[in-house]
Amino acid sequence: GYDDFLIGAEGNDYGGGGNAGQTYLILGKASGWAMDTDLSAADASFMGENGDDQSGTVSGAGDVNGDGYDDFIIGAVGDDDGGNMAGQTYLILGKASGWAMDADLSDADASFIGEGSDDYSGLAVSGAGDVNGDGYDDFLIGAEGNDDGGNNAGQAYLILGKASGWAMDTDLADADASFWGEDATDTAGVAVSGVGDVNGDGYDDFIIGANCDDDGGDNAGQTYL
């Protein structure tokens, strides 16, 4: 009944090596919060798999599998499983108990790997709400360096929630939908966010930022709804 929160530390060296990164989970409670609490006293933490993974971009994802527990995602922009700096995003499913410190992200419930080298997937991650009204929350993964729409046009991926079937090392080419930047060097996906239901039609909506888009001037940027 208490909401919880996440703190990313992408420069943490405790896991797979230098800059593997670590994410800390702080569970809500009625009282007892204090200043200057060391993150070693967090309720749980999740370490990057390898050095230079830079894990620690974090977001709540809502309840993606409909089990009544909220879930969260952790981006590791430096992960190389899909190629140098392809990036990887990990899904951690909520549960009643069993969290632990220093959990390796290789033990996540699912993960999503960038399509190619220098995609930088996972640099931006966000819950999207329930965009298709099926009762499962959905989430977004940005890959600002993706070249499908042109060199560094960028791409944002939409992952739809479901009851089961999540897997590790899912290629983002298998996402439920994706959105390319309009032109080379737009870096679409540098920022992604759910925004709730902006037009009152019962479906949640989301936005994708492309901070280097030139439509309004050199690198003026553009945000898409």
pLDDT (tens digit per residue) in 69-119: 999 999 999 999 999 999 999 999 999 999 999 999 999 999 999 999 999
Q: What is the pLDDT of residue 104?
A: 97
Claim: this prediction has a pTM higher than 0.85: yes
Strands 110-113 and 188-196: unpaired
The set of residues, in sequence order, having a beta carbon less than 8 Å from that of 4 and lying 6+ positions away, is: 25, 26, 27, 28, 70
Find the mean pLDDT for residues 34-38. 98
pLDDT grade, residue 14 (50/70/90)?
confident
Q: What is the pLDDT of residue 57?
A: 98
Average pLDDT, the chain: 97
How far, CA to CA in Å, does 90 sit from each of 28, 68, 139, 186, 218? 22, 20, 12, 25, 34
Q: How far, in Å, CA of 130 to CA of 172, rounded? A: 20
In the chain, what is the greatest distance between 2 CA atoms, to the nearest angstrom? Answer: 52
pLDDT tens for 132-178 read 999 999 999 999 999 999 999 999 999 999 999 999 999 999 999 99
What the block records as the tokens of 151 is 């060199």
pLDDT tens for 181-223 read 999 999 999 999 999 999 999 999 999 999 999 999 999 999 9
> 25 pLDDT exceeds 80?
yes
Q: What is the pLDDT of residue 198?
A: 98
Quickly list DSSP for 176-211: SEEEE-SSTT--EEEEEEEEE-TTSSSS-EEEEEET
In 3D, which of 152, 76, 84, 90 has the Cα closest to residue 121?
76
Exposure string of 141-175, with b = 16+ CB inside 10 Å and e = fewer, is: bbbbbbbebeebbbbbbbbbbeeeebebebebeeb
Q: What is the pLDDT of residue 185?
A: 98
Q: What is the pLDDT of residue 146?
A: 98
Helix (H) or strand (E) holding 112: strand 110-113
Q: What is the pLDDT of residue 100?
A: 96
What does R_g of the chain's alpha carbons equal in angstroms? 17
Find the mean pLDDT for residues 54-80. 98
Residue 153: alpha-carbon gap to chain centroid? 19
Q: How far, in Å, CA of 215 to CA of 221, rounded? A: 7
pLDDT grade, residue 16 (50/70/90)?
confident
> 20 pLDDT exceeds 90?
yes
Q: How far, in Å, CA of 20 to CA of 47, rounded? A: 7
What the block records as the tokens of 141 is 């993964």
Q: In what order do the strands lie in the sheet with 44-47?
A: 5-9, 22-26, 44-47, 103-104
Q: What is the pLDDT of residue 178?
A: 98
Q: In what order do the strands lie in the sheet with 188-196?
A: 188-196, 205-210, 222-224
In 3D, which of 122, 118, 47 has the Cα closest to residue 88?
122
Q: What is the pLDDT of residue 90?
A: 98
